[in-house]
């Protein structure tokens, strides 16, 4: 069997392992002949332990009897300080020996040869193969062994697939062009790996700008790790009412793209319409009432609504409804909120100091709403109030003597009156003698005519003295009629005179 062992140890693989370095593995001494067994070893692949990776040792009985099983041992040692992979011991040739069994069990190689696959062999580690065999004939039995390994140098890279997801939210509705619109952008990397240099862009719809006046939103999200999300908030405003919508996009330097939905923002606008009502004409001395009505004909509530109305020059503020208050020369109403489609009517009362045109200028304003203006006026007219008085200076009057009627016209009204004319009718018992006063006096028969006054101012008075003579005893009644531009129907005054003999 010695030849069997020696041949087995002379076979070697035809490759080297330049990347493996020898380790200080413990060395076993060769078997000493004459002790009943044989022992041999061979280093693979060079035959030299210093430059080889695997040392194969084989031992067994020096002699065996024909037909009797015997046991052989193969030790495989890693001579390096690195693990060896895919270690295989091949039985390349066998002669005059019948294989019975082994631990571990063999496998069939590609050429049908028997081989033991030891897989990985740790640094300086050893694995043992135990073989049971039986010689077939007297003579020499032999086999040939070889050992190999196949270390694999592997490197790996992580395969990643970053991606982008972008959502955009917008304030769904605002009331008034000065209300802020909030735009929210959320960009996320739902994939694996890093999305590099991510940017978000949104070309805003016509009529909408950022609070800084820009028409495009540009956001730098930077690098996004896998699963990372960044949120941005932008304030915007609209320059008109209407519906605004735009979709944002996200991109990266590596060509990733994402696009958001286009959420809508509806911008509604309140609008004020204003009117003022007043009496066309009143007489001085009466209070004037003014009514102002403000209507919201817009699409949403007008907030911070304030109505102002001037007190006409020279007039005195009397009162106002709806919590109206006097502020300087204005009456002010704070309505706060005026709902869309609703109206509010407010009134105030003033007292004019003189005749003329009393004009009220009113305005209505609200948050984000252009001011509405209106005005109305009332003609303040004066009214004449003519008082006619006739008094005789001597009463009773003896027949044949004279008495004097004092005729006084006084304008107690607030405006002048014109064409003031007085005509007296004397009874038959009285005779016109003469007259004087504010205008010429003439007499014809029993009629005494005072020439008309062109104008009699408010508070003014005109006087005449009419001299008459008693002709016969009587309870005489003289009749005096006054007419004017204002008093078309005569104002009548009578005076009683007692005439005696």
In a domain, 139, yes or no: yes
In a domain, 155, yes or no: no
Give the mean model confidence (pLDDT) for residues 117-132: 92
Give the mean model confidence (pLDDT) for residues 304-316: 93
Same domain, 277 and 262: no
Span 100-109, pLDDT tens digits:
999 999 988 7
pLDDT value at residue 142 = 79
CB-based contact 143:130 (threshold 8 Å): no
User: Which of 334, 356, 381 marks a domain boundary?
Assistant: 381
Tell me which residue range forms the domain holding 211: 165-268
Same domain, 40 and 137: yes
CATH of the domain at 433: 2.60.40.1510
User: How far does CA 137 lie from the centroid of its chain?
Assistant: 103
Same domain, 12 and 144: yes
pLDDT band at 18 (very low <50, low <70, confident <90, very high): very low
Burial class (CB in 10 A: 0-12, 13-18, 19+), 401: exposed
Span 229-256, pLDDT tens digits:
999 999 999 999 999 999 999 999 999 9
354-363 b/e with 16+ CB inside 10 Å = b? ebbebebebb
Same domain, 373 and 429: no
Same domain, 338 and 427: no
In a domain, 160, yes or no: no
User: Which of 381, 405, 426 marks a domain boundary?
Assistant: 381
C-alpha span between 267 and 181 (Å, rounded): 9
Give the mean model confidence (pLDDT) for residues 95-116: 87
φ, ψ dihedrals at 304, nearest 5°: 65, 35
Residue 446's contacts (CB-CB under 8 Å, 6 or more residues apart) are: 425, 426, 427, 428, 430, 432
Write out the two tokens for 279: 């009496």
Span 30-54, pLDDT tens digits:
444 446 788 888 999 988 998 999 9
In a domain, 159, yes or no: no
Same domain, 258 and 232: yes
> pTM higher than 0.85 for the full model?
no
Share of the chain above pLDDT 70, in %: 93
In a domain, 156, yes or no: no
Angle ∠(408,413,416) on CA atoms, nearest 5: 80
Same domain, 50 and 7: yes
Same domain, 277 and 301: yes
Nearest to 260 by CA among 335, 201, 189: 201
Same domain, 22 and 141: yes
Span 389-408, pLDDT tens digits:
999 999 999 999 999 999 99
Same domain, 238 and 349: no
In a domain, 62, yes or no: yes
Gyration radius of the chain over CA positions: 66
Same domain, 239 and 283: no
In a domain, 154, yes or no: no
What stretch of H or E contains 128? strand 126-135
Burial class (CB in 10 A: 0-12, 13-18, 19+), 43: buried
Write out the two tokens for 28: 């076993």
Domains of the chain: total: 4
Burial class (CB in 10 A: 0-12, 13-18, 19+), 369: buried
C-alpha span between 257 and 409 (Å, rounded): 101
CATH of the domain at 236: 2.60.40.10
In a domain, 55, yes or no: yes
User: Which of 268, 295, 314 marks a domain boundary?
Assistant: 268
C-alpha span between 222 and 198 (Å, rounded): 5
C-alpha span between 323 and 326 (Å, rounded): 10
β-pairing, 474-483 vs 491-500, is: antiparallel
Nearest to 368 by CA among 266, 270, 235, 293: 270
Write out the two tokens for 240: 């008109």
Region of residue 239 (left: phi > 0; alpha: psi -120 to 50; beta: else) = alpha
pLDDT value at residue 7 = 34
Same domain, 276 and 262: no
Nearest to 246 by CA among 212, 300, 207, 219: 207
Edge-to-edge strands of the sheet including 491-500?
A: 397-398, 491-500, 474-483, 417-425, 447-456, 441-444
pLDDT value at residue 108 = 86
């Amino acid at each position: 069997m010695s030849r069997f062992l020696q041949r087995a140890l002379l076979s070697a693989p035809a490759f080297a392992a330049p990347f493996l370095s020898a380790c200080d593995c413990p060395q076993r001494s060769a078997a000493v002949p004459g002790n009943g067994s044989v022992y041999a070893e061979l280093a693979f692949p060079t035959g030299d332990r210093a430059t080889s990776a695997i040392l194969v040792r084989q031992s067994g009985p020096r002699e065996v009897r024909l037909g009797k099983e015997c046991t052989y041992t193969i030790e495989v040692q890693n001579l390096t300080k690195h693990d060896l992979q895919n270690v295989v011991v091949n039985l390349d040739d066998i002669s005059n020996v019948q294989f019975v069994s082994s631990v571990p069990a063999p496998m069939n190689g590609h050429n049908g040869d028997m081989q033991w696959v030891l897989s990985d062999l740790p640094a300086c580690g050893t694995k043992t193969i135990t073989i049971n065999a039986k010689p077939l004939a007297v003579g020499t039995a032999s086999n040939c062994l070889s050992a190999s390994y196949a270390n694999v140098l592997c490197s790996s890279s992580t395969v990643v697939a970053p991606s982008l997801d972008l959502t955009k939210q917008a304030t769904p509705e605002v009331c008034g062009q000065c209300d802020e619109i909030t735009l929210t952008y959320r960009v996320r990397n739902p994939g694996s790996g890093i999305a590099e240099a991510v940017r978000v862009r949104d070309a805003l719809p016509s009529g909408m700008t950022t609070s800084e006046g820009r028409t495009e939103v540009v956001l730098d999200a930077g690098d996004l790790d896998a699963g990372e999300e960044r949120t941005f908030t932008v304030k915007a405003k609209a320059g008109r009412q209407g519906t605004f919508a735009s979709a944002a996009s996200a991109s990266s330097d590596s060509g990733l793209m994402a696009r958001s939905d286009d959420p809508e923002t509806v911008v509604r606008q309140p609008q004020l319409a204003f009117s003022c009502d007043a009496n066309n004409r009143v007489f001085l001395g009466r209070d004037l009432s003014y009514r102002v009505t403000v209507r919201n004909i817009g699409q949403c509530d007008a907030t911070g609504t304030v109505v102002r109305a001037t007190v006409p020059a020279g007039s005195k503020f009397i009162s106002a409804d709806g919590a109206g208050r006097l502020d300087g020369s204005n009456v002010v109403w704070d309505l706060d909120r005026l709902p869309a489609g609703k109206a509010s009517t407010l009134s105030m009362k003033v007292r004019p100091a003189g005749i003329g045109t009393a004009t009220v200028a009113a305005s209505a304003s609200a948050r984000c709403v252009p001011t509405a203006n209106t005005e109305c006026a009332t003609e303040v007219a004066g009214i004449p109030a003519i008082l006619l008085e006739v008094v005789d200076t001597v009463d009773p009057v003896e027949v044949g003597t004279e008495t004097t009627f004092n005729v006084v016209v006084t304008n107690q009204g607030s405006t002048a009156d014109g064409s003031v004319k007085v005509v007296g009718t004397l009874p038959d018992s009285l005779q016109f003698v003469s007259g004087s006063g504010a205008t010429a006096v003439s007499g014809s028969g029993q009629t005494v005519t005072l020439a008309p006054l062109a104008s009699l101012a408010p508070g003014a008075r005109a006087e005449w003295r009419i001299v008459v003579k008693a002709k016969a005893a009587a309870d005489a009644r003289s009749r005096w009629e006054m007419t004017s531009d204002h008093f078309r129907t005569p104002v009548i005054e009578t005076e009683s005179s007692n005439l005696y003999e």
